[in-house]
Amino acid sequence: MYVQNPNVSVRKPVTVPGLRAMKADGRQIVVLTAYDTSFAWQLEMAGIDVALVGDSLGMVVQGHRSTLPVTLDHMVYHTAAVARGLSATLLIADVPFMSDRDVSHALEAGARLVGEGGAAMVKIEGAAPHILDAIKALTDRAIPVCAHLGLTPQSVHKFGGFRIQGREQEAADRVLQEALAVEAAGAALLVMEGVPSALGERVTQALSIPVIGIGAGPRCDGQVLVLHDMLGITPGKRPKFSKDFLAGRDSVAAAIAAYAEDVRSGAFPAPEHCF
Ligand code: KIV
């Protein structure tokens, strides 16, 4: 098979400081996951701002029940594959389960995901003290960090399943404090997953860094979905916060373009995708 070189984009490259400017200008940031070169190219051609190599690949690519079996080697492999399909789209890669168990492992993960994988930023779940230390250590070494709070999938066993977080006032206040802490530690971006819309909005207003929602309501600075969910090809039930953008369209390219348009116009997420 002949894979065309996509490095011909006429778009201005999306940068880490550029994301903050998008928040300041009120421009919605469109994020979508990708795990290989061909789909990365589809994201690039559709003008997606950020491609995320999520450890969700453990579920939608590898067929596991959670993200926990994903290793750093897996993440580096898929990140490098996605990087080969991108040009202007910014690339973020997940630090997988336990690769952030202390600062030195987090630094090793960051070095490999950026150095070997070609990511511009790494994403880390949670706000425990060792995670705050890792965010600071990575940021100090010029590896930008995206934090991830709310329904953090690597904590599935602690939560007793993939459960919405921050429903009660006390829990919501705790998530807000965590968001302020990851920002203070140096995070340049925050993914808020699976929280009530009111909390998504509260966190977005409280932070100066952009907040990207997934099941966090319409008032975030941008949205992210898992590619397989938004193409309607994830086995089993589609999560409430996702939407099948391929339904009624005749190509993957059209589905991804529709997702980008709906995020930018504010049409997605609609009330039925929110908590
Ligand atoms: O792994 C992933 O795809 C993610 C997104 C759901 C935000 O973390």
- Is 249 a domain residue? yes
Mutate to test the pocket of ligand 1, among 31, 151, 226 (most ligand atoms within 8 A of CB): 226
For residue 214, report the distance from its CA to the centre of ligand 1, in Å.
Answer: 9
- The residue among 33, 80, 38, 82 whose CA lies nearest residue 58 is 33
* CATH number of the domain that residue 229 is part of: 3.20.20.60
The letter for the amino acid at 11 is R
User: By alpha-carbon position, which residue is closest to atom 2 of ligand 1?
Assistant: 54
- Is 212 a domain residue? yes
For residue 56, report the distance from its CA to the centre of ligand 1, in Å.
Answer: 6
Averaged over 2-13, what is the pLDDT?
65
Number of domains in the chain: 1
Catalytic residues: 193
- Is 1 a domain residue? no
Q: Are 87 and 59 in contact (CB under 8 A)?
A: no
User: Can you give the residue range of the structural domain that contains 151?
Assistant: 16-273
Label residue 9 by pLDDT band (50, 70, 90).
low
Q: How far apart are CA 241 and CA 247, in angstroms?
A: 16
- Is 155 a domain residue? yes
- The residue among 259, 268, 257 whose CA lies nearest residue 218 is 268
- Is 11 a domain residue? no
Note the pLDDT tens digit of each residue in 146-202.
999 999 999 999 999 999 999 999 999 999 999 999 999 999 999 999 999 999 999
Helices (H) and strands (E) in the chain, counts: 11, 8
Q: How far apart are CA 143 and CA 100, in angstroms?
A: 14
